[in-house]
Amino acid sequence: MSMIKTKIWKALQAHYEVICGQHMRDMFAGDRERFNKFSLQHNNLLLDYSKNRINEETMSLLFQLVREADLENWIKRMFNGERINHTEKRAVLHTALRNRSDQPVMLDGQDVMPEVRAELKKIRELAEAVRQRKWRGFSGQPITDVINIGIGGSSLGPEMVTDALRPYGIHDMRFHFVSNVDENHIMDTLELLKPETSLFIISSKSFTTQDTMLNASTARRWFLKNVDDESAINKHFVAVSANTRAAVEFGIAEENVFKMWDWVGGRYSLWSAIGLPIAISIGMEHFEAMLDGAYEMDQHFKTQPFEKNIPVVLALLGIWYNNFFGAQTQAVLPYDQHLSRLPAYLQQADMESNGKLVDRQGATVDYETGPVIFGEIGIAAQHAFYQLIHQGSKLIPADFLASITDFHCIKEHHRVLMSNVFAQTEALMKGKSEEDAAAELQKQGLSEKEIKELLPYKVFPGNKPTNTIMFRTLDPHTMGMLIAMYEHKIFVQGIIWNINSFDQWGVELGKQLAVKIQSELVDEQPVTAHDSSTNGLINFYKEMRPKNS
């Protein structure tokens, strides 16, 4: 039976009819305990979800929904290594990568932990050797530049975290992330490098992703052109992959290939050797602190009752807006500059996981699934797209993320920053009534006529939902907690929507067509095999491109 035909779904729908006419302003006015009721704290992490269009009954119905979806059992199945990624017949065990206990994690009767620990040891050895200048290039010089060549999960996570944990990073080393097959990306990067001090990490779970393979070949060619010694490759190229054979065939020494496993999805892989750039940047102790943070969130997720479970609450609020209010999007608005890549990271994590139309039984769903995730540094976005969130016609639930301390202790900066976090979420919730707007205009000395004309534009409807996620410092431990929190939120939503969050068949069609079209771009013959738009575009390109390109 479709989820939307269940009693609990219908109860939520009926409840929505009651709530949608209520304003959060009145909810706050009527309940002084609202913040205490609707906020959760785990160590130094606070989730304030009181500025949502909910009351106690909403949450109680939503908790009932998640119980009926059998979440408790699904959590066990995931952590216990069942093949819950049924379309690829794979287990989903990224949590094993940060299992900091001495408990085994069994997969088909085998404990995966010895392999996980062996790989962590290998990461430590490389990271320390590079950081301590013991890893030397072919000319005896230490590494100054680490270049990650990968895309999607093999780039976004490491890039986001390396950036986020910059204050913990090694200062006299540069990190580059090349993902786009557009030659500008690799060429612009190579321009900054010297082969003798560069370390390339070719990151690809499959080691077949065309963009990555092409960038890696170009980097290798550039290296050999400058160095002219194949044996030097060993000191300058390492790989991370579940396909060791392909990495070796590419020319990377087997001892320089770091392992990945098919039970780790690309977008959930930064905890593995895919996180090498992070480990080199922040050092292994900090990398492990990040794993500790994620493990702590795993334990919280596994053991806390749903009512006190941060990822579960976040997931349910998302469902509330997505499926009952008809919200199409979810904004991610970090106020910490170091989290500037978080929205891009979460776009893949969330949209590649829950952008699905077919349920676990193979039927097309008759309800909305994953939202469009978008976002930007909050302060920058305030001066760009917040207008639409405040006064546009769409409902856009938003997550605000902020750290309580900064690293440079410049008080004015941090106070101004935080005042904006508090002001924006308050403004989005309260809005500005007609009376208040009119009083303000009167104070400015405007005439009655002018006030009448201007008033509609000066009113803010408010009632815009936000979560505020605040933490003491953006340190490695907190970073681990935050990422794991979002991973589990995505998992819970997938369970409620009855979809497989761990495959990504939707990325295949474009890849297949691109391979076919590539061969059509070799000569100058006009093409006719496609629809008129695609034919027109290809032929325009062929006509306009420089000869011999």
Could you list the active site residues?
352, 383, 511
149/233 with CB nearer ligand F6P: 149
- Min dist. Cβ of residue 342 to ligand F6P (A): 17
Residue 504 binds to ligand F6P (criterion: CB under 6 A): yes
Is residue 112 within 8 A of residue 119, CB to CB? The reply is no
Coil, helix or strand at residue 333: strand
- Min dist. Cβ of residue 155 to ligand F6P (A): 8
- Min dist. Cβ of residue 479 to ligand F6P (A): 20
- Min dist. Cβ of residue 525 to ligand F6P (A): 30
Residue 488 binds to ligand F6P (criterion: CB under 6 A): no
Q: Which stretch, 2-10, 44-52, 145-153, 398-406, contacts ligand F6P (CB under 6 A)?
A: 145-153
Q: In which region does residue 409 sit, left (phi positive, over 0), alpha (psi from -120 to 50) or beta (all else)?
A: left
Binding string, residues 154-193; x marks residues near ligand F6P by CB under 6 A: x---------------------------------------
- Min dist. Cβ of residue 484 to ligand F6P (A): 18
Q: Which stretch, 6-14, 150-158, 177-185, 283-291, contacts ligand F6P (CB under 6 A)?
A: 150-158
Q: How far apart are CA 341 and CA 164, in angstroms?
A: 8
DSSP string, 27-69: HHHT-TTHHHHTEEEETTEEEE--SSS--HHHHHHHHHHHHHT
- Min dist. Cβ of residue 207 to ligand F6P (A): 7
212/218 with CB nearer ligand F6P: 212
512/548 with CB nearer ligand F6P: 512
204/498 with CB nearer ligand F6P: 204
Residue 212 binds to ligand F6P (criterion: CB under 6 A): yes
What the block records as the tokens of 308 is 């006190």
Is residue 87 within 8 A of residue 505, CB to CB? The reply is yes
- Min dist. Cβ of residue 241 to ligand F6P (A): 8
Q: How far apart are CA 472 and CA 44, in angstroms?
A: 6
152/371 with CB nearer ligand F6P: 152
Residue 272 binds to ligand F6P (criterion: CB under 6 A): no
Strands (E), 304-392: 329-334, 372-375
Which of 151-176 are b and which e, b meaning 16 or more Cβ less than 10 Å from the residue's Cβ?
bbbbbbbbbbbbbbbbebbeeebbbb
Residues numbered 99 to 128 that lie near ligand F6P (CB under 6 A) are: none
Is residue 142 within 8 A of residue 172, CB to CB? The reply is no
Q: How far apart are CA 432 and CA 442, in angstroms?
A: 15
Q: Is beta strand 145-149 parallel, antiparallel or unpaired with respect to 198-203?
A: parallel
Out of 81, 153, 157, 378, which residue is the one contacting ligand F6P (CB under 6 A)? 153
- Min dist. Cβ of residue 208 to ligand F6P (A): 7
Question: Contacts with ligand F6P: how many residues (CB under 6 A)?
Answer: 14
Q: Which stretch, 129-137, 149-157, 177-185, 324-332, contacts ligand F6P (CB under 6 A)?
A: 149-157
Q: How far apart are CA 152 and CA 149, in angstroms?
A: 11
* Burial status of residue 472 (CB atoms within 10 A of its CB: 0-12, 13-18, 19 or more): middle
Residue 369 binds to ligand F6P (criterion: CB under 6 A): no
Residues numbered 428 to 457 that lie near ligand F6P (CB under 6 A) are: none
User: Which of 351, 395, 393, 357 has the alpha carbon at shortest distance from 374?
Assistant: 351
Binding string, residues 322-361; x marks residues near ligand F6P by CB under 6 A: ------------------------------x---------
User: Which of 320, 367, 326 has the alpha carbon at shortest distance from 2?
Assistant: 367
Out of 85, 162, 204, 463, which residue is the one contacting ligand F6P (CB under 6 A)? 204
Q: How far apart are CA 146 and CA 467, in angstroms?
A: 36
Q: Which residues bind ligand F6P (CB under 6 A)?
A: 151-154, 204-206, 209, 212, 266-267, 352, 504, 507
